[in-house]
Structure 1
Amino acid sequence: MTKLDSEGLPTYEQIDSVSFTDFALVEIDDLTFLRVENPGRSVRDLLNALETLVGMGFTVKPVTFDKGQPTTVFSSVDTSKLVGLKVVGAVLADDLVARMEFVSKEGMAVESMTVLDGLKYRVEHAVFELVLGGLKGQIAFAANGTVKISGQVAPKLVSLVEKDLHFFV
């Protein structure tokens, strides 16, 4: 850390910081999944510590939902609706890249969004609002494998997503 002394000259001090990462190891069948809660910019220290414990050959691969979505979540809630969508596509004929973000409080259906007709795109981020027993929650899927869950039913939603993880490996 740099601070200025009484004469305005910079002095350098070392400070100790404390950080922590909440994580869980989830075993489903013969697979072990690492769930990191509220990850910082880097979970390198955590992965290095796990490699030390497990040994050489330890690898981590993010689980992404690019070929579908965890169906147990959506079949186990009373209602669900898509309320946020961010897509990236290309219009090759015009040498353009399209980045579009859509938000709706009422929900939206991708099939009825004519602006996406004929566009080759990839979903970067999708947010769903879910209701279970009168309680609301949100689940957001990102292309990089990050799943954010919030709301009053968050613990239930986490367990439902974990039930489907083995389908996406």
Structure 2
Amino acid sequence: MKRYKWFRISLPIDLQLLLDRLNSNPFLGDVDFGFGFVAGSGGRIRFRYYRRVKLVVGFVDERGDPANRLIDSIESFEFEFISSNGLLIIRIDDPPRSIKSLLDRLERACGEGFSVELMTFPFDCHQIILSGPKSTRLIALKGAGADRRRNYVARVEVASREGIVLEHLTVLRGLDFSIENSTYEVITNEGKGQVAFLASGVVRFSDQIADSLLVAFEGYLLDGNEHGRL
């Protein structure tokens, strides 16, 4: 599975100046972080971000007892700048648990006036984004709901290989219900796979359908439709 996350950014400086500053900070020698330019497709601009981290590793000591120790490691991931119609977006490929370090570095490179906003895909826009494939069906969802009249709170997980129709889920009737994670089975010209939307903003694609669906996803975002604004 491939994983992606998108952020809309606003820069107080010209994009080319930011790129020059990133290129002037390579990951060489004993530096704690750095950037490396990566050739992107379609004229897009890609970088790989590197930073030194410490990992906790478990082991068994000489007495046979469990113990931990810190080891030095390097974390890296790629990101891409996408620009169109006055919008500037960063897509993070296979994002780690936290990308705060990258965003902090970009803010320092830009100076005062840099802003960033996570872009998400609410449930009511999924069918619009996935309207292009030959076939799409909801096969799993997870969410939370409440019945305020009876002070009930419920967490619900549903899965079906045959597909899920929300109107048929009687357990949700009467609940103020919000869907947090959802998974679809999708058939495209490239084959069959899955797309999963997570509450964190991450979207997961099966490898064989990722490239074609990215076009639809990013076309949706560049039209200014994030956060359910259609």
TM-score, structure 1 normalization: 0.85
Q: In structure 2, the residue corresponding to 1:137 is in which secondary structure?
A: strand
- Taking the aligned partners of 2:194 and 2:123, their CA distance within structure 1 comes to 20
Alignment of 1:83-94 (within 5 A): 83-94=139-150
Structure 1 counterpart of 2:86:
30
Structure 2 counterpart of 1:98:
154
Structure 1 counterpart of 2:180:
124
Which amino acid in the other structure matches residue 137 of structure 2? Answer: K
1:81 and 2:137 correspond: yes
Which amino acid in the other structure matches residue 22 of structure 1? Answer: E
Preserved contact between residue 136 and residue 151 of structure 1 (Cα < 8 Å): no
Superposition deviation, residue 28 in structure 1? 2.7
Preserved contact between residue 123 and residue 179 of structure 2 (Cα < 8 Å): no
Superposition deviation, residue 61 in structure 1? 1.1
Structure 2 counterpart of 1:163:
219
Q: Relative to 1, partners in 2 of residues 1:115 and 1:17: Cα closer, same or farther, differing over 3 Å? A: same
2:96 to 33, 40, 50: 40
Preserved contact between residue 137 and residue 152 of structure 1 (Cα < 8 Å): yes
- Taking the aligned partners of 2:164 and 2:63, their CA distance within structure 1 comes to 61
Superposition deviation, residue 75 in structure 1? 2.0
- Taking the aligned partners of 2:183 and 2:60, their CA distance within structure 1 comes to 46
1:17 to 60, 73, 76: 73
Preserved contact between residue 85 and residue 127 of structure 1 (Cα < 8 Å): yes
Once the two structures are superposed, what CA deviation does each residue of 1:63-100 show, in whole Å capped at 9, x if it has no partner? 12227325564221100000111110112233221100
Answer with 101-110 or 132-141: which moved more. 132-141
- Taking the aligned partners of 2:96 and 2:105, their CA distance within structure 1 comes to 16
Preserved contact between residue 140 and residue 158 of structure 2 (Cα < 8 Å): yes
Query: In percent, how many aligned pairs have the same letter?
Result: 34
Q: Relative to 1, partners in 2 of residues 1:4 and 1:76: Cα closer, same or farther, differing over 3 Å? A: closer
Superposition deviation, residue 14 in structure 1? 6.5
Q: CA RMSD in A?
A: 2.6
Preserved contact between residue 138 and residue 151 of structure 1 (Cα < 8 Å): no
Once the two structures are superposed, what CA deviation does each residue of 1:126-146 show, in whole Å capped at 9, x if it has no partner? 111100126012111123322
Q: Which runs of 4+ in 1 moved over 3 A?
A: 1-8, 12-15, 70-73
Answer with 29-38 or 63-72: which moved more. 63-72
- Taking the aligned partners of 2:170 and 2:69, their CA distance within structure 1 comes to 58
- Taking the aligned partners of 2:158 and 2:123, their CA distance within structure 1 comes to 21
Q: Relative to 1, partners in 2 of residues 1:60 and 1:161: Cα closer, same or farther, differing over 3 Å? A: same
Which amino acid in the other structure matches residue 91 of structure 2? Answer: R
TM-score, structure 2 normalization: 0.64
Structure 2 counterpart of 1:154:
210
- Taking the aligned partners of 1:79 and 1:98, their CA distance within structure 2 comes to 31
Structure 1 spans left out of the alignment, 5+ residues: none
